[in-house]
Amino acid sequence: MTRVLRGLSGRVFLAAAICAGLSVVVVAVVMTSLFIEQAIKRIGALAPQLDPISLRQCERDPIAYSAQHGPDLELHVYDGDTLAPAVPGAPPLDPQLLARLRAGEVTPTRMYFFDPWGGASLRRAADHGSCALIQLRWKLGVSERRSSLLIIFGLLAFSVALAVGLASFFAVRPIALRLEKLRRATEQVGRAAGYASAGDPARDDLGQLSALLDQAHARIAADAARMEARHRALEQHLANIAHDLRTPLASLQIALEQLAADARPADDPGLVRGAIGDVVYMGSLIDNLYLACRLQEGADPLHGDLRVDLCAVVDRVARRFAALGRTRGIEVHGARPDAPLWARCNPAMAEQALANLVHNAVAHGDPGGHVAILLEETDFRKGAFTLTVVDDGPGVPPADLPKIGERTFRSDEARRRDPKGGGLGLAISQEVCSRAGFTLTLAGEEPRGLRATIHGPVSGPPRAA
């Protein structure tokens, strides 16, 4: 029994039982007191009829004795031996009252709930004779019965409300508070910071649920920590590989470019051009993997208040990809202001963002095509720059333009022209520009080609150390 009452269902059942029991007790007490009050008033009318003189009057003329009490109070006398009424047509004795009288009760009284008569009382006036037993019945008026019912139902409603309030305060309210703690804990399950255990020590259903919730959070947190550690280890591993491969690939690219410049017309220049393109692609991929790992770790292009000379970046990128363009029959040109143009950004990240745009334009261009890099200061009053990379290649279908810049997305046409690549370069450029406070937009050119535009604020030169 104790184990049942410890459970949630047992407590709810106990609260309901308390409500029902309290209501029944209150109604029983009120109804009993009301009917006892009515019975006392009517029995008071019977007391003067029990003296010896009245008893002799009753034996001489029982009809007159029974008829002198008014319409709302009916008194009948009965023979003590035969139990027959002294007045013909009188109602029989109430068997329950008679049984209680014989059991020793002096004046048994009974209430009638669904009867025109409100109740009856029985009294023994003598041991024998035609007037030995006197039965008194009284009527209840409509107003009196209505007032009694109003009192009963009013007190019943009050007792129910009181019982529900007490049960809610002592049984339901603690459960509701525990459920609220469980709800708050559930919202934070699996989060590294902010989880607060419900801390329910009770040995019931809610207590077990709280313990299971803590165990689930611990498992999720442990799994998340292991996954994060593996993720960081993988990122660090990729970053280390990318760093180690950059130097030999750069050396190989320089050697291939020199070989292509010294090759005789009779030689096969296509093989050397293909090798150079593959090396440039691998170098760009490694640079992007390295930068992607840094960005994933939270690297900020604005950290350290670094400055980058955009003019120097344009020169370096144009020079790097001009050699690649020559192997593919594509001209790469850069144009910039004569004076340095500074912007607030990590120089390596800014150069990689531009290099990705130029590399895409060269890699997807057609022989005889052109790629132009144009840097200009567009707002002298507020201080802003516009860096544009425009080509006359096949361009991008208009339906695919909104998706360009998403990681791993490449249009079907781009995959058909060049199966290498996974869309990482443009995604890296987009993320670097976003973190540096720049905007990168892509738009189609007419009649063909693609225009990539980086727009952002300029800043002053770096402060002297």
| Domains of the chain, earliest start first | 2-160 (3.30.450), 302-465 (3.30.565.10)
Asked whether residue 436 carries a pLDDT value surpassing 60, the answer given is yes
pLDDT band at residue 370 under the 50/70/90 scheme: very high
pLDDT in tens, 129-153: 888 888 888 776 666 667 766 777 7
Asked whether residue 1 carries a pLDDT value surpassing 50, the answer given is no
Q: What 3-state DSSP class applies to 316?
A: helix
pLDDT of residue 314: 95
Residue indicated by tokens 């319409």: 71
pLDDT band at residue 4 under the 50/70/90 scheme: very low
Q: Are 348 and 312 in contact (CB under 8 A)?
A: no
Q: Are 125 and 56 in contact (CB under 8 A)?
A: no
Q: Are 306 and 345 in contact (CB under 8 A)?
A: yes
Question: Is the peptide bond preceding residue 62 cis, with omega within 30 degrees of 0?
Answer: no
* Euclidean distance between CA atoms 378 and 440, whole angstroms: 15
| pTM score over 0.75 | no
Residue indicated by tokens 């450029």: 429
According to the per-residue pLDDT averaged within each range, which of 61-70, 190-199, 356-365 is highest? 356-365
pLDDT in tens, 198-248: 777 777 777 778 788 788 878 888 888 888 877 776 666 666 666 656 666
Mean pLDDT estimate for the chain? 76
